[in-house]
Amino acid sequence: MRPARNVRGAVSLPGDKSISHRYAMLAALAEGKSRLENYSSGADCASTLACLRLLGVKWERIDDAHNVIEVRGNGPSLAAPEQSLDCGNSGSTIRMLSGIVAAQNFSCEMTGDKSLSRRPMERIVTPLNAMGAKITSRNGCPPLRVTGSSLRGIHYRIPVASAQVKTCLLLAGLLAEGETIIEEPLRTRDHGEVALRAFGAELDRQKNQVRIRGGQRLRAIVAGVPGDISSAAFFLCAAALFPDSQLTIPNLLMNPTRARLLDILSQLGLRISVTQLDEVQGEPVGTLQAQGNRLKGATIAGADAAALIDEIPVLAAIAPFSEEGIEVRDAKELRVKESDRVASIAANLRTMGAQVEERQDGLKIPGGQTLHGAEIESFGDHRIAMAFSIAALRAQGETLIRGSECGRISYPAFFSTLETLLER
């Protein structure tokens, strides 16, 4: 990556990963054929589709240019796979799909790559076993051996805020007998609830508690997936680095449980406006316009840390260029992502010459610093690779990001798309 002088232009983003995963899984359980447009191009969402095919779900790509897929639903009963369900690098796939597989009348194994095999799974194993499934793991991590059963609804308080765990239990609750009640310590993204309603399910949400009744039938839908706001974060942070930048992003997801990013960027100084706001299958979508300004500072803590867990790496990567710096607290979950993101961020910033204080649950990164180009590591983590491509835009000299191909996990065209927006 070479330094840039400015960011200017428009970018259309691939479909939101979180919504794409959920739409594919619900389409598999629905009756009829669902058409999903702008389905995520990332490898993680491809892992979900591959697992569904092994479970007997028929789907096909009908328009590669616009990432359109059609999924023929099987209803609530899926077929026993003839081989392990390989979830690749996708924590969303293994955690959420477990809620479906746990309710089936067969046993199977769920595996993943080296990174996924280190990620904690007891957070889904414990409640699913309480619902009547039998799931074993290797020291709390994949592979998972799942023996499905007739599930029964439970009242469960999630100990660590996680939208993946919540959606897993909502899917299990949909296929269980009776009512399932889920309580979160902090409100997380609600794409699972919104998607379930789009497919015809009824559920009740009161503050941090959601209820779903088992035995409901889903209907197929035709839907477009809004642009991924977590991917937008990289381009918006790039724009925030340059006072004269101008960036337009059409068809962008504006879900309130995800849009806290825009508030933080506004607090940092980026000028943001939203036009053409609409609603697609319950999800707000709009066109975002951003203009650069002085980059100030921010603190990310508490509920914000949970809401911004995917966006913290790129916010931290631009923190040295801010006037007041950025402090991140209450984000211990970063330690158990595709890499230990707290350690990965700190290591790369130091390699580029920054001062950074690494804490158990976050980071403190002073502002007013100058970074120099360096050879840095992706640590096999797509968000780390993409975050430091943004930091490199204001560094002095060239930056080499080793293992940057991991960006395909969420956004295969990221680096080529970024280049189209840069002025040098």
The confidence score (pLDDT) of residue 377 equals: 98
Write the CB contacts of 367 (distance below 8 Å, at least 6 apart in sequence).
297, 319, 320, 321, 322, 323, 324, 325, 326
Residue 145 near residue 136, CB atoms below 8 Å: yes
List the Cα angle 99/184/114 in 5-degree steps: 50
Residues annotated as part of the active site: 310
| Residue-range domains of the chain with CATH | 6-14+227-423 (3.65.10.10), 17-224 (3.65.10.10)
The confidence score (pLDDT) of residue 101 equals: 98
Distance CA 397, CA 374 (A): 8
The confidence score (pLDDT) of residue 65 equals: 87
Write the CB contacts of 416 (distance below 8 Å, at least 6 apart in sequence).
none
Helix (H) or strand (E) holding 240: helix 229-240
Q: Which residues in the chain show pLDDT less than 50? A: none
The model's pTM is 0.95
Record the tokens describing residue 42, joined without a space.
């990332």
